[in-house]
Amino acid sequence: MIYREAGDFKTSYAKDQQTFPIAFDRWGYFITLAFAFLVVPFIINDYWINAVVLPFLIYAIAAIGLNILTGYCGQVSLGSGGFMAVGAYAAYKLMTGFPDLNIVFVIFLSGGITALVGMLFGLPSLRIKGFYLAVATLAAQFFLVWLFNKVPWFYNYSASGQISAPERSIFGYAVTGANALPAVSYLFCLCFVVILAWAARNLTRGANGRKWMAIRDMDIAAEIIGVNPLKTKLTAFGVSSFYIGIAGAMLFAVYLGAAEVGEAFGISKSFLILFMVIIGGLGSIFGSFAGAAFMVLMPVLLKNVMVGQLGWPTDLAAHFEFVIVGGLIVLFLIVEPHGLAQLWRLAKEKLRLWPFPH
Amino acid sequence: MSANFYFGVEVFLNGLMAGVMYSLVALGFVLIFKASGIFNYAQGVMALFAALTLVGFQNGQIPFAHLINAIFGTDLHHFGWHMPAFLAILCALGVMILFAFIVERYILKHLVNQEPIILFMATIGLAYFMEGLGDLMWGSDIKKLDVGIPQGGNIWLEEKTAFLGGEDFYGFYLDNLDIWATVLAAILVTSLVLFSQYTKTGRALRAVADDHQAALSVGISLRTIWVIVWSIAGFVALVAGIMWGSKSGVQFSLSLIALKALPVLMLGGFTSIPGAIIGGLIIGVGEKMFEFLIGAPFLGGATENWFAYMLALLFLVFRPQGLFGEKIIERV
Amino acid sequence: MKMTKLAAFAATAMTMASPVLADLVFPSLSYRTGPYAAGGIPFADGYADYFTMVNARDGGIGGVPIKMIECETGYNTEKGVECYESTKGEGALVYQPLSTGITYQLIPKVTADGIPLHTMGYGRTSAANGKVFSNVFNYPANYWNGASNAVNHILDLNGGDINGKTIALVYHNSAYGKEPIRTLEELSKKHGFKLSLLAVDHPGQEQKSQWLQIRREKPDYVVMYGWGVMNQVAVQEAANIRFPMENFIGIWWSGGEHDVLPAGDAANGYKALTFHGVGKDYPVFADVQKYVVEPGNAAGAGDQIGTAVYNRGFYAAMLAVEAAKTAQEIHGVKDITPAMMRDGMEALVIDEAKMTALGMPNFGPSFSVSCENHGGPGLGGVAQWDAGAKEWKLISDFAPSDMEVIGDLIVEDSMAFAAENNIEERCK
């Protein structure tokens, strides 16, 4: 009744093709954005920003990146952790090597460097497919982690190999380092997320996106109709790694502040991002957000309920957390194999007809 | 011959042995992938879970003791008996078969005909679930696993070969545990091959592996086959868990051995049992020899993890379906 | 979508973040799950039991009860941050994360928030320089002290001359494991021993290459910086190649009962460094029995009491309580703040009389902390494993480490950090 498309007439192709064709959706989107930019920074406390919202925003970028590669182009990758490490170490080297360089450029440049590395490791995808490719990308994961651990140049010859982000600011406000106000880092991340999500949405529905999807659906057929698999797969790897690199740079510089490659960017990170993409929904930008929210919020919520509210011992709660998250993943897949995005779509379908289901 | 040459031979032999240990884990993956097209990420956790259960039975631990104590304020720990290893292995096997039933009944049945990546994801969910469940049941502290398999360097071999390389060389070193693992792996593979060639169930298994639809149409119950396959994979996981657990004690890290099996799978092909063995041997020898010749002297060591994957990647570039995998035929 | 979700969860958060002012809050960032649980459980148990005992026996510190908040990190840095953020609002007095990775993350945060951080025997070694790191403490010993202690022990065994000997370092290939390398390199120049480095990747299930290399190269001594499953496998592999166990020395994090028990009798004679007493043979454990175990308040499963890593957690809690007492004396207030706690830690003096009064005679070295030196004197002893009796035995006194070498390294590393982050020196 409230959510409807009746009376929503389009008079041009551009309007018909817009991301949110239904007025209600469009307004919802703008209100959410306005709320996120104008209201949230003033009402949210440090704990929520530092423990939940920042990782959510940063992982959303990484999930969008992997979704471009896996969801849109059909190439399963388990190298995300390694690529995030590339972004993080690139950011560290840029920040310490060029102290005057603005942090925004640092992050975009780190993304660019990661894109190059990603394209290099994307080359085998021309021959290797499916799970073989997934396992092959693990080669990138393990090699990159080893490299950053082994070559002291990457961590400026510090004794332990830890990298720490020095303080950098925009408009006089610190965004990295310990003195950054949580609200400032939040807005900084939010800007990146909005711009990158907007870019991803428009990339995936343009010519490039359609080429990616053609390759995903059947690469031989796509080749026959004139899609160049080399170019298409490599652009997918490049764009995806660009996003993941940015996420890695922000995870290190804005969120963690210090990182060690094996621990922060290990194989479990690769799996985590893949979970987000699959749980959220392959081939959906909204799904990337939903998946990131699920994987970041769920453990925190469970922990707070079990330890904070029910007062259980922390180890029992941690074990239950595993059981519940695992159970929920399986349950979601059984109920809706196409992820949270599909559930959302179905809910909207239902809402359109509500309260008259026929 | 110089001592260095013999050292090289020793590294080679130990690489073979390590390869067998990897193959033990990889076998479980192959069995399930062949029969149901599922890339079972939970194989490593299954090994951990099986080993935990085995130790739990052996020591007479009360399952969920910690949870029960936390809820009811009791102080339970052990039943107070000590089970012989053989009996405990049988019991653990029983639990793994029960587990196979549950997986089929509550997960696989609902996911028939889904895309491979969804099935893969479901097994990841399963892995999480079992990790938590294993810890809840038996506790997350480290446990000693001892089923009577001898450990330590084989002294006989050392003495017999000590004369070979002169002063600096004191005989080939081979771990007794690894020798046992090799023997067990050989028995395991032989019996698997015999089972699938000469029994009715085995033939049904192969039929399902060849073509689900055709197998269904001649009256083979897919669901029964899946339970059987997952039970066998559970048994293989138990063997892998025993061998790896004897080395390091049973604890969380045991589940990470799955990562050592992935390059083996890639190289050998996801669908071939001999592939898992030969792939394991190639990876084992490859990574140990690389570490010996190049990694440790020139690159600062710890190269094994990535080199195994790089080696497999190299093979894949020439054979995209692995050494023994079924040829991928694509039609438009 | 995400915002509506957040709003729903906000309610949970609000109820959580209501600070209780009356108690002294000691957060325990523990890990009872994950790949390093075997070491995390006993430490967390010891840490908790000491506080329980002080509450039950003395009614808290200076009459103010202690409230310990446990938070599970799983040795994961991101969860560590979450734990830090969720507990700092409750007036946390001191953080002890038991993870080098989490420590690095918390160093800038605690400095900005004015909360002290105590990383006993781990963390950033150069934090011993109090001039640069105002809020970070790592007394009584750190990684570099450990490396020097091990070398000193080897010197003792050889009558002070190890020229031409070979020492192999088997290390966890991470920030933690790489810490001692520089110190050992300096020491090898000074004493003329040959150092060979063997990295083991996380998690360390498979170490055949490393131990075959040791068998080939026959180093005279092996020093290990391991953690988690790496320890158990290394001890087993060393026994397998029949490396003389008494020449195999682990850092304190490789010296738990759980590290040697899986190898059984083969581990007999293995040595590990320690900076605190081992075993249950101290009067204070009678109090633990009376006030903690008998009322049924023991943390965890209660089966860890007296193990090496349990004692370490116990010792850490003791130092925290003593620092809080010192803070109460300095400021004359019972209800201290994190800033006061920091002052207390900086003025902490631990001597034999104090430890005897606590029922822990000779449990740890005597030391004092100052504004310049947050690392203490770096005293360490050696314990040896007796597989028959299944217990550690202290075989040396707490002896000093080579501060000449380490001091220079600390200054160098901390100055680099100060330059990178524009920190002004304190204590002038």
Q: If chain C, 428 residues long, is cut into consecutive pieces of 10 residues, what is the mean pLDDT of each piece?
A: 43 42 85 88 94 93 91 89 88 91 89 92 89 91 92 92 93 88 92 93 87 91 92 92 93 92 90 92 92 87 88 94 94 92 93 92 90 88 93 90 89 86 82
In this structure, are residues C105 and A51 in contact, taking their beta carbons and an 8 Å threshold? no
* Closest chain B CA to residue C38: B141
**Gap between the Cα atoms of A134 and B263, Å rounded:** 11
- pLDDT tens-digit readout, B170-222: 788 888 999 999 999 999 999 988 988 899 998 998 888 888 888 889 999 88
Residue B124 has pLDDT above 60, yes or no: yes
Query: In the structure encoding, which two tokens stand for residue A93, read together?
Result: 């080297």
Residue among A149, A271, A297, A314 with most chain C CBs within 10 A, to mutate: A314
In this structure, are residues C77 and C9 in contact, taking their beta carbons and an 8 Å threshold? no
**Gap between the Cα atoms of B178 and B280, Å rounded:** 14
Its ipTM equals: 0.89
- pLDDT tens-digit readout, B275-316: 899 999 999 999 999 999 988 888 877 888 899 999 999 888
Q: Report pTM.
A: 0.92
Sole residue written with tokens 């040829």: B327
Least confident of A151-165, B233-247, C108-122: A151-165
- pLDDT tens-digit readout, A245-268: 999 999 999 999 888 888 889 988
**Gap between the Cα atoms of C136 and C95, Å rounded:** 10
Residue type, A42: F
Whole-number Cα distances in Å, B37 to B64, B124, C239: 34, 15, 42
In this structure, are residues A313 and B98 in contact, taking their beta carbons and an 8 Å threshold? no
Which pLDDT belongs to residue A146? 92
Mean pLDDT (chain A) is: 90
Residue among A93, A98, A162, A298 with most chain C CBs within 10 A, to mutate: A162
Collapsed DSSP state (helix, strand, coil) of residue C90:
coil
Q: Nearest to residue C277, comparing CAs of C251, C236, C309?
A: C309
Whole-number Cα distances in Å, C409 to A158, C72, C191, C373: 11, 34, 17, 14
Long-range contacts of B160-167 (CB under 8 A, 24+ apart): B164/B1, B164/B6, B165/B1, B165/B2, B165/B3, B165/B5, B165/B6, B165/B7, B166/B2, B166/B3, B167/B3
Q: Nearest to residue A183, comparing CAs of A346, A46, A312?
A: A46
Q: Nearest to residue B132, comparing CAs of C102, C74, C228?
A: C74
**Gap between the Cα atoms of A102 and A108, Å rounded:** 10
Q: Do A158 and C413 touch (CB under 8 A)?
A: yes
CA distance, residue B125 to nearest chain A CA (Å): 4
Query: In the structure encoding, which two tokens stand for residue A246, read together?
Result: 């940015």
Cα-Cα end-to-end distance for chain C? 54
Collapsed DSSP state (helix, strand, coil) of residue A178:
coil
**Gap between the Cα atoms of A138 and A124, Å rounded:** 12
The Cβ of residue C349 has, within 10 Å, a number of other Cβ atoms equal to 12
Residue A191 has pLDDT above 90, yes or no: yes
Q: Nearest to residue C203, comparing CAs of B190, A250, A316, B256?
A: B256
Residue ranges covered by each domain of chain B: 3-318
**Gap between the Cα atoms of A235 and A210, Å rounded:** 12
Please report the domains of chain C, with CATH numbers, ordered by start residue: 22-142+279-377+408-421 (3.40.50.2300), 143-276+381-405 (3.40.50.2300)
**Gap between the Cα atoms of C153 and C149, Å rounded:** 6
Is C30 at the interface with chain A, CB within 8 A?
A: yes
Residue type, A79: G
Helices and strands (H, E) in chain B, number of each type: 13, 0
**Gap between the Cα atoms of C238 and B293, Å rounded:** 22
**Gap between the Cα atoms of C212 and B301, Å rounded:** 13
**Gap between the Cα atoms of B182 and A141, Å rounded:** 30
Collapsed DSSP state (helix, strand, coil) of residue C316:
helix
Which pLDDT belongs to residue B1? 57
- Enumerate the residues of chain A whose CB falls inside 8 A of the CB of residue B118: 278, 333, 337
Q: Which residue has the higher pLDDT, A299 or A57?
A: A57
Collapsed DSSP state (helix, strand, coil) of residue C393:
strand
Work out the average pLDDT over A169-174.
88
Q: Which residue has the higher pLDDT, B158 or C51?
A: C51
- Look up the CATH number of domain B3-318: 1.10.3470
Burial of A150 from C-beta contacts in 10 A (0-12 / 13-18 / 19+): middle
CA distance, residue A316 to nearest chain C CA (Å): 9
For the CA atoms of A156, A158, A162, A165, what is the dihedral angle to 10 degrees? -50
Nearest to B313 among A76, A136, A327 (CB): A136
In this structure, are residues A341 and A280 in contact, taking their beta carbons and an 8 Å threshold? yes
In this structure, are residues C1 and A289 in contact, taking their beta carbons and an 8 Å threshold? yes
Which pLDDT belongs to residue C22? 67
Which pLDDT belongs to residue B272? 85
- Enumerate the residues of chain C whose CB falls inside 8 A of the CB of residue A318: 32-33, 72, 74
For the CA atoms of B160, B164, B168, B170, what is the dihedral angle to 10 degrees? -10
The chains found to touch B (3+ Cβ pairs under 8 angstroms) are: A, C
Work out the average pLDDT over B229-257.
91
Q: Do A321 and B265 touch (CB under 8 A)?
A: no
**Gap between the Cα atoms of B236 and C245, Å rounded:** 34
Which pLDDT belongs to residue C84? 92
Which pLDDT belongs to residue A358? 63
Show which of residues 43-82 on chain A sit within 8 Å of chain C, judged by CB atoms. 45-48, 50-53, 55-56
Whole-number Cα distances in Å, C327 to C139, C345, C348, C369: 17, 7, 9, 13
Residue B168 has pLDDT above 80, yes or no: no
Strand pairing category for C166-172 and C221-225: parallel
Collapsed DSSP state (helix, strand, coil) of residue A12:
coil
Which pLDDT belongs to residue A240? 97
Q: Nearest to residue C90, comparing CAs of C305, C337, C319?
A: C337
Nearest to B70 among A149, A279, A313 (CB): A313
Which pLDDT belongs to residue A127? 86
Which pLDDT belongs to residue A116? 97
CA distance, residue B42 to nearest chain C CA (Å): 16
